[in-house]
Homo-oligomer: A and B are copies of this chain.
Amino acid sequence: MPHRTAFFISDGTGITAETFGNAILAQFEAKHRRVRLPFVDDADKAHQAVRQINHVAQVEGKRPLVFLTVVNMEVLEVIKTHCNGMIMDMFGTFVEPLEAELGIKSNHRVGRFSDASKSQAYHDRIEAINYSLAHDDGQSHADLEGSDVILVGVSRSGKTPTSLYLAMQYGVKASNYPLIPEDFERRQLPPALVPHRKKLFGLTIDPMRLSEIRNERRPNSRYASLENCRHEVNEAESMMRRAGVRWLSTTTKSIEEIATTILQEVRPERLEY
């Protein structure tokens, strides 16, 4: 296996450089060491980064992989001139053809996130985070109609991380509400949810996996037992089916995949902006 060190270098947070680099590296089986160097925004820091890269090149005897999202021309110049790595320059590659296509010059603006904090979209994200926190785990029935989506499912099916991800990344006001044994006995949706049926989205999970997750919290409890998990999941799925609630299984899905699927289902217009 060819082992290399990959550097993600940016004059901003480096989040884009890291996303870019990790997506490319995921196309190869090899395990690489990864180093994110954020805020490389002057010649001094650029020279420091170059020293670090060239040191690794020497020690490992192989060119490090250098993923760049740098807009500062001075920084770019230092890195491109002096670094003994294989440079993959995202902006350099795509911005120039796009300048030709659009007939305008790029502005070399540093960091997508650097003036985000003044935008309406950013404000909405922060509001959504606060909303989702206040409406986590059925904590508050107040203003449930303000939700963009209400996630339902048994305890530990993934509702909380998904709600927070939807809020943080997409400004979606996602509340979540547990389905508990009491609901299964009544064989009905929790009364607070009935007026909001159209906003419900269910999360379910394989009972074996659920039992594993619950056992980490409360080992050897009835709550975590496979038998109980089977029962709860079965009841929850039946209830969602009867109530006509859309649902998906989180068993093998990441929160990114779950959130994207939910967005497509309940707020497809949020995929356009």
Contacts and interface: CB of A to CB of B under 8 A. Distances in A.
B14 A260 contact: yes
A36 to B, nearest CB: 4
A112 B26 contact: yes
Q: Of A108, A160, A256, which is in contact with the most chain B CB atoms at under 10 Å from its CB?
A: A256
Interface size class of A (residues with CB under 8 A): 35 or more
A254 interface: yes
A69 interface: yes
A19 interface: yes
Contact of A161 (B24, B86, B126, B252): B126
A195 interface: no
Contact of A257 (B71, B91, B98, B114): B114
A251 to B, nearest CB: 8
Contact of A254 (B108, B113, B272): B113
Given A36-B271, A116-B256, A103 B160 contact: no
Given A16-B23, A122-B254, A86 B113 contact: no
9 contacts: A20-B23, A27-B98, A29-B107, A30-B102, A35-B271, A126-B161, A133-B164, A161-B168, A168-B168
Given A14-B260, A34-B273, 13 more contacts: A4-B102, A12-B257, A13-B260, A24-B91, A26-B112, A27-B95, A28-B104, A33-B272, A38-B264, A39-B261, A88-B98, A133-B136, A133-B164
